[in-house]
Structure 1
Amino acid sequence: MKAWSLLFGLTAVIATAAFVYAPFDEDWWLPSYRATNAEAMATLEEIDARSGALAGEVEAMRDLGGPASAEQLEGLDSGRRWLARQAVRLGMMADQGFLSERSRELQSRAALASEAVASAREALGIGPAPAAVEEAVGALEGLRERAEAAIASVSEPGGSLRAPISSAARQIDHLYVLILVITGLTFVGVMGAMVVALWRFGAKPGRKAVYSHGSLKVEIAWTVIPGAILVFLALYQLRAWADIKFKSSYPDVAPLAEVTARQFQWTIRYPGPDGQIGTGDDLHTVNDLHFVKGQPTIIRLKSDDVLHSFFLPQLRIKQDAVPGMDIPVLFDADKAGRFELLCAELCGWGHYKMRAQVTVHETQDEFDEWLARSLEEQDYPPPPASDPDGVAAAAVPPGPGVE
């Protein structure tokens, strides 16, 4: 009897402690970005540091009075070979789903920086070459800046799951708390009643056990009360469900993008200058969703293969992507920053790779600037198939957002 009562009491205490502790630790159920992506982060940090140092070495050769020394030329050869290796590593990172679009762009920039350094090395072996030096330094600085941006997007992932940052999140969190209070009080009450019953009605010398077939009044009570609670919750949540899921309640805004889920990535298509999705000037990205703070945003959700689930945890938005269906999804955010898009439906062996970056821009001008820059970079030339020393670079499609 004492053992069972202690077990029930301990269970109630642990459950209560978990409910109380969770709101005070913002990240106890979030993945550790650096732990999950430690190897890829090490690559980005190496590129950030080494490309900056290499740019400084090349810059120092701008005003040479004659040909570069053998030691300087060997340093440039070493840097070029290192850049070619980084292009291969970045291609592998993109294939593994790590910031696919950014990794592809960095791969292109690393390969082109390698070519620029090779051209500078050839020119400096003959004599002063300010133009070649300037081109190589520019390529290396561009590579370093993009590596820094990629590092920031992983190490600064935005807000925790605790704080709601959208109108839907506040409605859903309110429902969660209400249900948690009801079920929590019921759980603790039942555990407490069992402990009291074990101690009060336990076996004692001289006490005769009494058999009871049951009580109709008690059975009616424990059927009617839970039923009434369920009916109350069903009616109480209708407004939230209608606001989030009913197309008839959506604001009259054009879709921001078309999001297509496929094994194992999110492909996103934004309208180009003509404002229409599905035309030749569209912007294509992979695992990179952008929208503006404070504005209602609608995307068209599709699936290319199997069932997926579009899940924005900080915004409390979840919608299945069903093959053959074009599903509108409404959401907003009242906080700018970087957040996360996940697939919440087991969709195959690579399900764990379906993580995308979500960027909420502070203003429409900031979003428009990103869109214009991305459209310009979409036709950034791909890296060569191999470098002069035969170091094969991973293949890259024509645009950074098409895999």
Structure 2
Amino acid sequence: MSTFRWFTLRLFWSALLLPPLAFFLLWILHEIFFKDIYFPDVFLVIVAALLLFPLVSFALTSLGRRRFDFLQERGKSLLLTERGDAAAATLPLLRRLFDSGLLAPRDQEKCQQALRRTYFPFYAGHLEHAHAREQLLAALREGVRAEEAYYALKSYVLSQPQLTLGVAGIAEELLDYKPGDQALANFFVRHFLENRSTHYRAEYFYANHLSHDGGLSEAILDLCLERILGRERKDDFAAWCCARAFQSKWGADPGVRRALFHFDEDYRLAQREDDLARAVAACARLLSPEEIARWRTEGRPVPPATLKQQAQKWYVSAREWVWQALTWLRRHRAAALAGAGVLTVLLLYLNWPSRPQEETPAPQPAAAEPQQYFSLQVSSVRERLRANRLVQGLKSSGLEVRLIEPQTPAGWFAIRVGRYPSQEKAQAAGDSLKTAGIIQEFLVRSEERQ
């Protein structure tokens, strides 16, 4: 988005300045220097446009840099005088400058890094604001006073009375920075175990806890192991669950033992050598040779091919058949040309008209029914239960509501309302529903008629 604004702003000013510049340039050339001499005006206008764009870009970038330097120095001086509230007033002006398109994307990144260094104490002291938390996370990623940013964010996370997805996202980044911080991981593990949560956010903390073989591992396995074995999952969290279950009371479970065998086979094939692969290999070495021989003979159950996979298989087969046909034609070029010539002559003989036929006007094709309609996408959620609640709430208002399934397992459920023949009618209907308070925001989406 920043690149688009940067380009459109320069394009707008270049288009605005090009007509007077071209008029002045052509007037100078025709009336003063080259009277009564023809030369291509269009070419000169194109050259002027190509030269004008970088000049406009340089002027706008210089203006943005001066504006940023002024606001940064102003904020720095206010911070030095311990006037944090006044310094906070410069932050919206700086964000507006970044969103204006005056600065190039590369210059914008440099300015934001310098701003994080300057305002770091202010951000660390105002973590109740989402923008301050985002800037400290960016400082943590870039290594700008990373330790201070880490402990400031950790204190914020541990002091929250209620855990939200945003707080969990911050904790994930903190654990990625310091995977061995078990105080932070155990805090979230205990919270998710109390709520018996098994969503993907909880699994991240569960996997981190299992990788360190923490004291809550057995509780995690009691909650998640049966579900994982039933779905035959192959991700890292499932591997950690099977490895820790093998070392505890589930060591004799045939599902756990078989899953560990397949995990070990996969990791050996991929030449994986991390902690998880070593833990799985240590468990797999304790499996009996009879079990390994039986599982290798049985093999893994092959899931039924989906429609997309079958279509891809047919496409590959068709391409192979066409390639074989072209190869045969190249080898027997003379025979193929002779056969094509004979077939052409035969078709001409059979279809040669004996008398001129009267031309009949071709029937006019019937007007095709429009194959496209428009609908309002009012929400996108990840959880099916929440999506169903939103659908029922909209249906209670008398609306035609559809729940669009995600394309991938990690996708989002889309909720769409209505079917409208044109984009304008869909926009008007969305504005009416928004004014009535039935929906909050919406996007107009086009769909193909089935």
Name the TM tier (shorter chain). under 0.3
TM-score (norm 1): 0.18
**Bigger helix share:** 2
Between structures 1 and 2, the one with greater strand share: 1
Instruction: Report which of the two structures shows the higher radius of gyration computed on alpha carbons.
Output: 2
Choose between structure 1 and 2 for higher RCO, CA contacts under 8 A separated by at least 6 residues. 1
TM-score normalised by structure 2 residue count: 0.17
